[in-house]
Chain A
Amino acid sequence: MNISLILNIALNLIRARMKQSAIAAIGVTFGIAMFIALVSFMNGLNNLLDGLMLNRTPHVRMYNEIKPSAQQPITLSDNYTKSNNFISSIKPKDRGKEIYNSKSIIAVLKKDPRIVDVAPKVTAPVFFNSGTIEITGVVNGIDVPAEEHLFSVSSYIIDGNVFDLASVPNTIIIGKGLSEKMLVKIGDVIQITTLRGGLVSLKIVGISQIGIAEVDNTMSYTSLETAQMILGESAGYITDIQVKLTNVALAPAAAKEYRSRFSIDAIDAQTANSQFETGSKVRSIISYAVGITLLIVAGFGIYNILNMMIYEKMDSIAILKATGFSGSDVKWIFISLSLIIGITGGLFGLLVGFILTKIIGVIPFETASLPTIKTYPVDYKLAYYLIGISFAVFTTTIAGLLPARKASRIDPVEIIRGK
């Protein structure tokens, strides 16, 4: 097979039908451009939202949950193994929320090669006192450097410095909603009551804003030591161990492993954020579906123009066959014709798609809940472009195949006799 001759004939057929070929190619361009723009934008959004949740939640969180005893006395009896048991006389035992042995667990975790870092945390429900009213809230005692490393807390401290928590004792950072409710600002001192009735005064060194009103209205941060002091607990008191893995996909397996290894509750990010996962998936599916639909439409365009060309070029096909082109040569002429249209259209589509994403990327997108985001998020990834061009090649090959087979079966005798 003489490839350059076949390509040359295909190109000349296109040139003779420039307008229709261009229209068919524009169809592909449009499909690919929309696909690139959609996928990049949707995935930008996904990453943003994932980031919103995933970067702020640990891949695995270990804690102690108050729960009923798994083994009720009656289930221990052999007599009733086949019976339905509804007697649960043993009530949950309050072991407190403290994680026992937290030090050695952390030491073991830090050696695990899958783990990026470990951040211990103390959470405790408290009341913030403002005048005569009490506002319910939560104190998060954090290990500032570790927390910063894992979740970059500083990115949502809108006022003040998170490291002051560690360096200055008896300090607190409160959520923006809280500060507005209590009319307090940096430098002010607020009073906190614990559930057990203890009263502590803390100095505000910062205001945080995560962007979720519910959180900003209740959340506050202190250092681990301050939190332990507020609760009147000893220095080893930890309620949560947060872990970040090298790959979030490992989280479910890791959580399962830790659960049995440390006999502790452990939840992975996927389970904790399952509703976000679903959203991300739906967005991806939509963008692929739209892209594929547009490409199928473009494929029909190519199919049409090829059929038209073959109909018009019956004589040419007949003479090519009469002078020594085989059926498969003719087939390849039309497949390459289709591919030339598809690849040209596809490459332009990538370019237009890239420009579109650039335009989307500069459109202002400001929202109070996302202080660090100024424009619409776009995810630039080579993979989308590779997928796009493969789509184009695939659909145009398929679209070209049927007409090309038809052309290859044209009987030159019929055409020549017909004259």
Chain B
Amino acid sequence: MTLRNVLETKKINKYFFDPVKFQVLSDITFSVKQGEFVSVVGKSGCGKSTLLYILSTMDTDFEGELFINGEPLTNNSDKDLARIRNEYIGFVFQFHYLLNEYNVLKNVMIPGIKLAKYSYEEIEHRAMEHLRTLDMHSQALKSPNQLSGGQKQRVAIARALINDPLIVMGDEPTGNLDKKNSDMVFDIFNAIVQEKKQTMLIVTHDADFAQRTHRIIEMADGKIISETNTLHRRSAPTDITT
């Protein structure tokens, strides 16, 4: 079975003009297949976050081509892009960005209500299930500001997963977590990849975390300098075969 490309870029270049013209990304070309768990590493300031914002469709100011789920993303309206983010992409940022106006459960549900693929009750049920896998179901009715940092991050992960996105992108999602919580997040991501064939693209500074993913993309000065397949070091998961 050949797995399709969930994400593909061709020669992405990006410049910043303020204060001086400066190329952040040069000729970024790579692809991610469905069910892959990819990590992106590199020195601080090498352009990882910038790349992720482009891949997530939030930043449209770049040169080159971007394909999500095989569809080219050029000249899409703000509405189309919002819809693509809502349906196909889940985000986890270093900072959690929960809405304090809503409780934990509702925070997880909002992207689902926005997509409106399922009924309210169904979304509520699914949100509860995601919280349960993250061991957060007992906190479902709390307000986000009553949670610890790690707990908030887990809620943000549940929110990223609510619409069963094709790909989950994370920008240092474990950056604020201790070893135990960081391991837990890794296990959850890994389980999603294994069980639901969803895809992960995670920017991380945690070498240990990166080593355990399927593939490591290393960046330096806005370029991809190496791609390392780590799967061969371990016994490949039975369902990731080509």
Q: What is the CA–CA distance of A419 and B116 in the complex, to the nearest angstrom?
A: 30
* B interface residues with partner A (beta carbon < 8 Å): 49, 53, 56, 58-59, 78-79, 81-83, 85-87, 91, 93-95, 97-102, 110-111, 113-116, 159
> Could you say which of A15, A319, A326 contacts B99, with CB atoms under 8 Å apart?
A319
Evaluate whether A322 and B110 lie within 8 angstroms (CB atoms) in the complex, with A327-B78, A419-B93 already known.
no
Closest to A408 in B: B78
Q: Report which A residues bind B (CB closer than 8 A).
A: 2, 5, 9, 12-13, 15-16, 315-316, 318-329, 411-413, 416-417, 419
Picked from B87, B101, B113, B115, the residue with its CB within 8 Å of the CB of A12 is B101
A9 to B49, CA, bound (A): 29
Q: Is there an interface contact between B97 and A318, defined as CB atoms closer than 8 Å?
A: yes
B116 contacts A323, C-beta separation under 8 Å: no
**A323 and B86 within 8 A (CB):** yes
B99 touches A321 (CB 8 A): no
Asked if residues A12 and B102 are in contact (CB atoms below 8 Å), the reply is yes
* Other A-B pairs, 14, CB within 8 Å; known A323-B114, A324-B82, A324-B115: A2-B116, A12-B101, A13-B101, A315-B97, A316-B100, A316-B101, A324-B111, A326-B82, A413-B53, A413-B58, A416-B58, A416-B93, A416-B95, A417-B53
Q: Can you offer 28 A-B residue contacts whose CB atoms are under 8 A?
A: A2-B114, A5-B110, A5-B114, A9-B101, A9-B110, A12-B101, A12-B102, A16-B100, A316-B99, A316-B101, A320-B99, A320-B110, A322-B56, A322-B91, A323-B111, A323-B159, A324-B83, A324-B87, A326-B79, A326-B82, A326-B83, A327-B78, A329-B82, A412-B58, A413-B58, A416-B58, A416-B95, A417-B49
Q: Can you name the residue of chain B whose Cβ is closest to the Cβ of A15?
A: B101
Give the complex CA separation of A321 and B57 in angstroms.
11
In the assembly, what is the distance between CA of A412 and CA of B82, in Å? 12
Give 6 nearest A-B pairs by CB, closest first: A324-B86, A326-B82, A319-B97, A12-B101, A323-B111, A419-B95
Please give, as numbers and ranges, the residues of chain B lying within 8 Å of A322 by CB-CB distance.
56, 58, 85, 91, 97
Cβ contacts under 8 Å, B99 to chain A: 12, 316, 319-320
Among residues of A, the one whose C-beta sits closest to the C-beta of B59 is A413
Instruction: Compute how far the CA of A31 lies from the CA of B110 in the bound complex, rounded to whole angstroms.
Output: 37
What residues of B have a CB within 8 angstroms of the CB of A15 in the complex? 101
Q: Which residue of A lies closest to B83 (CB)?
A: A324
Instruction: Give the complex CA separation of A15 and B102 in angstroms.
Output: 11
If A323-B114, A417-B49 touch, whether A328 touches B93 (CB-CB below 8 Å) is: no
The chain B residue sitting closest to A327, CB to CB, is B78
Which residues of chain A are within 8 angstroms of B98 by Cβ–Cβ distance?
319
Tell me, rounded to whole Å, the shortest Cβ–Cβ distance linking B104 to chain A: 14
B113 touches A2 (CB 8 A): yes
| A316 (CB) vs chain B CBs: closest residue | B99
Tell me the smallest distance from the CB of A20 to a CB of chain B, in Å: 14
A413–B85 Cα distance when bound, in Å, is 14
Q: How far is the CB of A26 from chain B (nearest CB, A)?
A: 22
- Quick one: which of B49, B79, B110 contacts A328, CB cutoff 8 A? B79
Asked whether A324 lies within 8 Å of B59 as measured between CB atoms, the reply is no
In the complex, which residues of chain B have a beta carbon less than 8 angstroms from the beta carbon of A9? Answer: 101, 110
Verify B94–A419 contact, CB threshold 8 A.
yes
Q: How far is the CA of A243 from the CA of B143 in the complex (A)?
A: 76
Contact between B114 and A324 (Cβ–Cβ < 8 Å)? yes
Residue of A nearest to B111 (CB): A323
Instruction: Give the distance to chain A from B161, nearest Cβ to Cβ, in Å.
Output: 12
Which residues does chain B contribute within 8 Å of A319, judged by CB atoms?
97-99
| Separation of A15 and B100 alpha carbons in the complex (Å) | 11
Give the distance to chain B from A363, nearest Cβ to Cβ, in Å: 46
Complex CA distance for A320 and B86, rounded to whole angstroms: 10
Chain B neighbourhood of A413, CB < 8 A: 53, 58-59
Q: Are B110 and A323 in touch, CB under 8 angstroms?
A: yes
